[in-house]
């Protein structure tokens, strides 16, 4: 597993505003999108491209074009939807799938899959899993293996913040046959007794879309 933590003043500033409990939902959504755009620059460094002959207003040249099959962006519902706009702005040619997973509150590292809108065959696809929080790591491992069962061998996870316990869990449980990378804005101190990241930013889904009882 390859881990990349963004170290940049813009990221640090935006993340601080994002964490503030007084930041309203509309600003929170804007910041999530902006942070994802910054993360995408690093996450797509290994994106496959092919030569593309074009003509500029001055002369012909051979440029670069994102290769087929197109990359696949997979938000983990529901909080991952808040990251989708930033990703598609940066990779407009990508396709989008959806994966609904939620943590089993009695067994925090186990996941319940409740929705799936993905291609059956992901062979040869570069896949990007987006979810704001890497807490226990259970969702990320389950989602990555879910893609791998459909043939994905190249998966990059983009998270806003992560807990050390979650990173350790992923390192120990991810299938080593998968080319796997994680990009985050920050690694926080720890998980609390409820498996929430500390200091964290609260429940990302609730702060993006409101509380659902």
- 206 known member of a binding site: no
- 103 known member of a binding site: yes
Find out whether 201 and 185 touch, Cβ atoms under 8 Å: no
- 135 known member of a binding site: yes
- 203 known member of a binding site: yes
Find out whether 138 and 169 touch, Cβ atoms under 8 Å: yes
- 27 known member of a binding site: no
Ranges of H-type helices in the chain: 9-19, 25-43, 81-90, 138-148, 164-173, 204-209
- 134 known member of a binding site: yes
What is the rounded CA–CA span in Å between residue 126 and residue 154? Answer: 5
- 137 known member of a binding site: yes
- 56 known member of a binding site: no
- 139 known member of a binding site: yes
What is the rounded CA–CA span in Å between residue 16 and residue 189? Answer: 15
- 121 known member of a binding site: no
- 157 known member of a binding site: no
- 80 known member of a binding site: no
- 204 known member of a binding site: yes
Residue numbers belonging to the annotated binding site for uracil: 197, 202-204
Residue ranges of the binding site for 5-phospho-alpha-D-ribose 1-diphosphate: 78, 103, 131-139, 203
Output the known binding site: 78, 103, 131-139, 197, 202-204
């Amino acid at each position: 597993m390859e881990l990349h933590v963004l170290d940049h003043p813009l990221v640090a500033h935006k993340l601080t505003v994002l964490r503030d409990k007084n930041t309203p939902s509309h600003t929170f959504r804007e910041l999530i999108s902006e942070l994802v755009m910054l993360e995408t620059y690093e996450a797509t460094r290994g994106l496959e491209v092919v030569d593309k002959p074009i003509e500029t207003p001055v002369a012909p040249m051979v440029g670069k074009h994102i290769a087929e099959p197109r990359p696949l962006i997979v938000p983990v519902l529901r909080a991952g939807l808040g990251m989708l706009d930033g990703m598609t702005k940066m990779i407009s040619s990508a396709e989008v799938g959806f994966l609904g997973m939620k943590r089993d509150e009695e067994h925090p590292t186990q996941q319940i899959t409740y929705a799936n809108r993905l291609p059956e065959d992901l062979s040869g696809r570069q896949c990007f899993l987006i979810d704001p929080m890497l807490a226990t790591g259970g969702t990320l491992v389950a989602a990555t293996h879910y893609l791998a069962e459909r043939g994905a061998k190249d998966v990059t996870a983009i998270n806003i913040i992560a807990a050390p316990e979650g990173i350790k869990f992923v390192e120990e449980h991810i299938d080593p046959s998968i080319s796997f990378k994680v990009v985050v804005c920050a690694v926080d101190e720890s998980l609390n007794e409820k498996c929430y990241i500390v200091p964290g930013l609260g429940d990302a889904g609730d702060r993006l879309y409101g509380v659902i009882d």
